[in-house]
């Protein structure tokens, strides 16, 4: 997936994204990092076509995604949705089944055989008949991931997917994303924890004020001066035994 001169402005606002050009390598985990308000969620929403690109284009396999019909797009690009009250009274199985809708007619039932594997792969079998409103935040997060994976997308988008997860499940998720990428999926996520971003990614996008300041491998972007400037805070990179380089914020 790639962006070519992509810009977006919220109506009557100066904020948005300005002339972004760069790639999200196929079969790799890319993490978008940057300060609050840098435009990370806006970019994800553009990649998912939840917001229309106003200038430039986003290409998937060299095709502008704006030209894809909604059903074709949903078979290619899935976004792990944040909690939504509309789903509170649906069961886990019903929510995961929504991921299969792009492969069926609107009124067709989704066969159990298409849902069961995604429940099992995400540790949700036991919870299949539980209502969403009766789940913890972390369990709900796993349901949204299962629903997105049920779309069998080639591109998976995740906006701060670790928010509701404890440290153990954060690690489980990061490993799962790596495995999906190894199987050929292009994974694009937004993370706030920069150390997690540097450890869990093959590729990084660094945004500031709606602009792409840098993109590259974690090794290329592990630059204390650059990070300090973008995050407006003193930063040092220290070597932690058994962990390697670690980005630390220096108290002012």
Ligand X SMILES: Nc1ncnc2c1ncn2[C@@H]1O[C@H](COP(=O)(O)OP(=O)(O)OP(=O)(O)O)[C@@H](O)[C@H]1O
Instruction: Locate 134 and state its tokens.
Output: 């009766």
For position 62 contacting ligand X by CB under 6 A, the verdict is no
Size of the site for ligand X (CB under 6 A): 12
For position 171 contacting ligand X by CB under 6 A, the verdict is no
Query: Of residues 28, 31, 42, 186, which one binds ligand X by CB under 6 A?
Result: 42
Shortest spacing between CB 41 and ligand X, in angstroms: 3
Instruction: Locate 57 and state its tokens.
Output: 């284009």
Q: Say how far apart CA 239 and CA 247 lie, in whole Å.
A: 9
Q: Say how far apart CA 252 and CA 250 lie, in whole Å.
A: 6
For position 67 contacting ligand X by CB under 6 A, the verdict is no
Query: Of residues 40, 93, 100, 222, which one binds ligand X by CB under 6 A?
Result: 40
What residue ranges in 10-113 does DSSP mark as E strands?
16-23, 29-33, 55-60, 63-64, 77-80
Query: Of residues 33, 38, 156, 230, which one binds ligand X by CB under 6 A?
Result: 38
Q: Say how far apart CA 79 and CA 189 lie, in whole Å.
A: 10
Query: What contacts 85, CB < 8 A, 6 or more positions away?
Result: none
Query: Of residues 24, 28, 29, 39, which one binds ligand X by CB under 6 A?
Result: 39
Shortest spacing between CB 12 and ligand X, in angstroms: 9
For position 233 contacting ligand X by CB under 6 A, the verdict is no
For position 153 contacting ligand X by CB under 6 A, the verdict is no
For position 36 contacting ligand X by CB under 6 A, the verdict is yes
Instruction: Locate 118 and state its tokens.
Output: 């995604």
Which one-letter DSSP state was computed for residue 81?
A: P
Contacts with ligand X by CB under 6 A lie at 10, 13, 15-16, 34, 36-42
């Amino acid at each position: 997936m790639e962006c070519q001169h992509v810009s977006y402005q919220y109506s009557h606002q100066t904020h948005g994204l300005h002339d972004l050009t760069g790639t999200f390598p196929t079969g790799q985990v890319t993490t978008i990092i940057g300060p609050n308000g840098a435009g990370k969620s806006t970019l994800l929403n553009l990649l998912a076509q939840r917001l229309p690109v106003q200038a430039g284009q986003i290409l998937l396999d060299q095709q502008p995604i704006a030209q894809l019909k909604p059903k074709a797009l949903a078979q290619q690009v899935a976004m792990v949705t944040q909690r939504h009250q509309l789903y509170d009274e649906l069961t886990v199985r019903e929510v995961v089944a929504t991921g299969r809708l792009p492969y069926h007619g609107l009124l067709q039932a989704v066969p159990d055989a298409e849902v069961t594997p995604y429940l099992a792969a995400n540790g949700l079998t036991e919870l299949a008949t539980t209502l969403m409103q009766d789940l913890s935040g972390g369990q709900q997060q796993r349901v949204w991931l299962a629903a997105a994976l049920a779309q069998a997308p080639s591109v998976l988008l995740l906006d701060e997917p670790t928010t509701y997860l404890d440290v153990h499940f954060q690690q489980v998720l990061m490993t799962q994303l790596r495995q999906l990428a190894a199987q050929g999926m292009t994974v694009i996520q937004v993370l706030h924890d920069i150390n997690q971003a540097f450890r869990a990614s093959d590729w990084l996008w660094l945004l500031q004020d709606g602009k792409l300041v840098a993109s590259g491998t974690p090794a290329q972007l592990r630059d204390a001066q650059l990070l300090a400037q973008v995050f407006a805070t003193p930063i040092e990179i220290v070597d932690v035994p058994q962990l390697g380089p670690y980005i630390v914020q220096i108290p002012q």
